[in-house]
Structure 1
């Protein structure tokens, strides 16, 4: 097929120049090689493509018909090659990211800004969902990469931890006055607890840790929004389980207060994941590099 395509490329140049010698100069070939190539093409097609004359050559009716089709086909191939080059050079394309609202707001936005400033021709498509939901989207091919809470118990995924995060408990002013000493984990169920909804990966992580200590959670409030956790704690509706790194503004302004615990929940990570079996697109690969470089700079 490659040899046949080469013959067609030569055929186009000969047809444009109406001369074997001019085509040979254009192609950096000998005139004899060009002539032999056209004889081979005519033989394979069992059709005469050129009429030889004193000035050079001219296309036969069959040759002119073939020329129109081949010219269009070669141009389409060239356009396709140019588009591939655009994708490689990140001057075109789309990056589809699966991510949760909280991670978008508190982790991802700055990296999206950096990537967009460096590669403005790449379009973004963000699909929001829980870690479980975006993992399903990744496996179905609806997104290229996901940015989510780790750990992920899935051997089919390449997982790149990017940022360590710490789960903590926070409260409003009323509970701050009531809780004077570091709190034992088992004492949590004596307080009204505010947690994310059960299908959250963050909720699962904390629940699994507490269960390993023999503590089964009985939350009073289960919310679908991270920001609502902080707002509920602020107005003294209970004790909220949040991530320290994503609650800095509330903590620094004294809107909520971190409860000191006798035992600490082990830290975990936010990171990027993608399928091991599917090579990353140039845009996806560069996006992952932008995040990793940003994390290295912040260390």
Structure 2
């Protein structure tokens, strides 16, 4: 049975063309089928919509009134379908990403550039925060995906590790010679330490590793950004715990030196997170693919 929407589409086509035969041709239908559709609609509405003449048809007063509304509705549906197609083809839309400043600067930027070059009409919304803050706004729907420090223990999230990272300790020129030999973790924590704030997932990972070995950390400085860790260590305020992969510029230039440990802290990951219960948008899906395939 022909649907009500299809009946209205036939009605609009006949109203525009003022001919059953022209409407049938445009709709790839037979003329009797078009005539039957109009008669069915008139029966359901209990009103005559067209005046039949030897030269064709014309809208009645009631038909003209209905045509204004139905034609507008059909046009809106067509526009909506076009927008959906644009959305699927990534010719329009928005990608909302949650990410911390450090990961954004040292990891994410090349992928943003690659995605933007391929899909220039997709707008970005970048929301900054710690890993725990990003998980919260991800669940609230404020962002589509989050790029976080892993590990995370959250059964509601899909976690896709992307790169391995290593937590190391670095020092400036003042401590270079003092720390010329490998240290144990017990020896390390007796030095003035510079760490991220306790709410940082990176800080918690290192601290948990120490606690498992019965070692307590009491830092001299607790800072809010990775860049400040590097700068504080560079001016010899203490020994900073940093991410090696995000500190290469300082290490390569000899501004900082890696403290050798007898026992290296196990590697962890930076990865993409999103809700298991919500399907990714086409833009989010493509962006995750670019990161996982390392297309930069």
Secondary structure of the equivalent of 1:170?
A: strand
Per-residue deviation, 1:187: 1.1
2:151 match: secondary structure: coil
Residues 17-166 of structure 1: matches in 2 within 5 Å? Answer: 17-166=17-166
Q: Partner of 2:66: helix, strand, or coil?
A: helix
- How many angstroms apart in 2 are the aligned matches of 1:133 and 1:146? 10
**After superposition, what is the alpha-carbon deviation per residue over 1:63-109, rounded to whole angstroms, capped at 9, x for unaligned?**
00000100000000000000011110000000000000000000000
State the distance in 1 between where 2:69 and 2:39 align.
19
Query: 1-side partners of 2:138 and 2:68: how far apart?
Result: 43
1:249 is the counterpart of 2:249: yes
Q: What are the within-5 Å matches in structure 2 for residues 189-208 of structure 1?
A: 189-208=189-208
- TM-superposed deviation, 1:174: 1.0
Deviation digits for residues 91-143 of structure 1, max 9, x if unmatched? Answer: 00000000000000000001000000000000000000000001100000000
Matched, 1:183 2:190: no
- SS of residue in 1 equivalent to 2:189: helix
Give the TM-score normalised by structure 1: 0.98
> 1:219 aligns to what?
219
Question: What is the distance in 1 between the residues matched to 2:216 and 2:77?
Answer: 62
Please report how far the alpha carbon of residue 2 of structure 1 lies from its aligned counterpart in structure 2 after TM superposition: 7.3
Unpaired runs of 5+ in structure 1? none
Distance across 2 between alignment mates of 1:37 and 1:47: 14
How far apart in 1 are the matches of 2:2 and 2:32?
21
Query: Normalization by structure 2: what TM-score?
Result: 0.98
Query: Moved runs in structure 1, 4+ residues, more than 4 A?
Result: none
- Consecutive unaligned residues of structure 2, counting only runs of 5 or more, are none
Structure 1 residue 25: deviation in Å? 1.1
How many residue pairs get aligned? The number is 296
- Tell me, what secondary structure is at the counterpart of 2:261? coil
CA distance in 1, matches of 2:232, 2:83: 51
